[in-house]
């Protein structure tokens, strides 16, 4: 073939410096961090449920939701401290408040959530200062909404490709999972005749989580691979099966204790699988340089400026 005719320059492969990852892998540990993400979200959604139950006069449901919010917040804080290594590291994050920092806002949200749920639960158990307890319950409903979603914002604000590019859907995935988890916890601790709103919350949360997760993986394209392959893929598939199955069981869980238990346990297991799966997907996407380099190159080819994740 004459020189210059029909020659095709092969597309240059993606590269990184000596084949090393372009971004740092998350250093969070298991089971500390994913369990904290689950417990914090459940606590936040349970606080919102307790506030609604207070406003609508569902006293028994409110007590169960207060208990779930307090237990989840307390246990979650313990897992967070275990992740950080010592309590002082968390206290140091409260030295300043930076509205531009998801970590700073999240730390203050967690502190407010813990304080309000403790006051609400203390009042419920002792009967002391019921007006203060009711006020704390209503206030924790507001902090709880933030608590149920801020961890997704925290992940999306990092440079990890599978998290950063999922910033649109990840808050809905976590919010749905938190609502389903809270609904499961409350319906497990409330008489079946009074647990109708908790079952409805579990169903709504399960549907939201599954739909948002499917939309996220489809929209991400190549960056959705870490959520579909390997250990993360196994965990995410298990999460969808358990969450959807638990949500379907919740629609008929009022018929027996066995169905209630199966539904609640399935939803709880699904929520944990979601957190572990999302964490693992982030690690995979940070470890493989193609998930950073290829999207950047595609944006440049399309005439868009390359974005720096996390900024």
Helix, strand, coil share (%) of the chain residues, nearest 5: 75, 0, 25
The set of residues, in sequence order, having a beta carbon less than 8 Å from that of 78 and lying 6+ positions away, is none
- pLDDT score, position 5: 55
Q: Which two tokens stand for residue 89?
A: 């590291």
The set of residues, in sequence order, having a beta carbon less than 8 Å from that of 2 and lying 6+ positions away, is none
Please give the share of the chain, as a percent, with pLDDT higher than 70.
Answer: 88
- pLDDT score, position 10: 52
Q: Which two tokens stand for residue 194?
A: 């009074």
- pLDDT score, position 19: 59
Per-residue b or e along 156-170, where b marks 16 or more CB atoms closer than 10 Å to that residue's CB = bbbebbbbbbbeebb
Low-confidence winner among 95-109, 171-185, 294-308 (lowest mean pLDDT): 294-308
Average predicted confidence (pLDDT) for the chain:
88
- Whether the Cβ atoms of residue 231 and residue 281 lie closer than 8 Å to each other: no
Residue 21: CB atoms within 10 A of its CB come to 15
Looking at per-residue pLDDT, the higher value among 203 and 28 belongs to: 203
- pLDDT score, position 103: 74
Please give the share of the chain, as a percent, with pLDDT higher than 90.
Answer: 69
pLDDT confidence bin for 99, thresholds 50/70/90:
confident
The Cα–Cα gap between 80 and 68 comes to 18
User: How large is the average pLDDT for residues 245-264?
Assistant: 95
Give pLDDT tens digits for 174-189: 999 999 999 999 999 9
Q: Which two tokens stand for residue 225?
A: 């691979």
- Whether the Cβ atoms of residue 232 and residue 280 lie closer than 8 Å to each other: yes
Per-residue b or e along 268-286, where b marks 16 or more CB atoms closer than 10 Å to that residue's CB = bbbbbbbbbbbbbbbbbbb
- pLDDT score, position 83: 86
Looking at per-residue pLDDT, the higher value among 54 and 307 belongs to: 54
pLDDT confidence bin for 305, thresholds 50/70/90:
low
Looking at per-residue pLDDT, the higher value among 22 and 81 belongs to: 81
My answer on whether omega of the bond before 31 falls inside 30° of 0, hence cis, is yes
- pLDDT score, position 235: 98
The pLDDT of residue 311 is above 50: no
- pLDDT score, position 118: 95
The pLDDT of residue 7 is above 80: no
Cite the DSSP H helix spans in 127-229.
130-156, 161-164, 170-188, 196-220, 225-228
The pLDDT of residue 308 is above 60: no
Give pLDDT tens digits for 193-247: 999 999 999 999 999 999 999 999 999 999 999 999 999 999 999 999 999 999 9
Instruction: Give the C-alpha distances (Å, rounded to integers) separating 282 from 1, 26, 161, 166, 275.
Output: 47, 7, 7, 11, 11
């Amino acid at each position: 073939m004459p020189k210059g005719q029909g020659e095709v320059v092969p597309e240059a492969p993606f590269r990184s410096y000596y084949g090393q990852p372009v971004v740092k892998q998350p250093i969070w540990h298991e089971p500390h961090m994913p369990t904290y993400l689950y417990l914090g979200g459940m606590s936040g959604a349970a606080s919102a449920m307790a506030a609604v139950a207070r406003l609508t006069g569902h006293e028994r449901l409110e007590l169960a939701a207060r208990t779930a919010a307090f237990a989840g917040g307390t246990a979650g804080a313990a897992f967070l401290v275990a992740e950080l290594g010592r309590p002082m590291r968390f206290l140091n994050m409260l030295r300043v408040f930076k509205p531009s920092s998801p970590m700073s806002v999240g730390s203050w949200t967690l502190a407010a959530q813990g304080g309000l749920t403790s006051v609400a639960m203390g009042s419920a158990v002792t009967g002391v200062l019921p007006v203060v307890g009711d006020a704390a319950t209503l206030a924790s409903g507001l902090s709880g909404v933030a608590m149920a979603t801020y961890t997704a914002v925290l992940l999306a604000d990092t440079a990890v490709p599978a998290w950063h590019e999922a910033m649109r859907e990840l808050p809905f995935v976590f919010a749905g999972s938190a609502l389903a988890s809270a609904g499961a916890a409350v319906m497990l601790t409330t008489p079946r005749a009074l647990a109708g709103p908790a079952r409805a919350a579990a169903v709504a949360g399960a549907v939201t989580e599954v739909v948002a997760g499917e939309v996220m993986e489809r929209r991400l394209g190549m960056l959705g691979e870490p959520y579909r392959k390997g250990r993360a893929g196994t965990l995410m598939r298990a999460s969808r099966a358990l969450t959807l199955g638990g949500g379907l069981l919740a629609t008929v869980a009022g018929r027996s204790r066995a169905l209630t238990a199966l539904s609640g346990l399935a939803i709880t297991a699904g929520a944990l699988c979601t957190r572990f799966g999302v964490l693992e997907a982030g690690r995979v996407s940070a470890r493989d340089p193609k998930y950073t380099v290829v999207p950047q190159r595609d944006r440049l080819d399309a005439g868009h400026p390359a974005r720096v994740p996390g900024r």
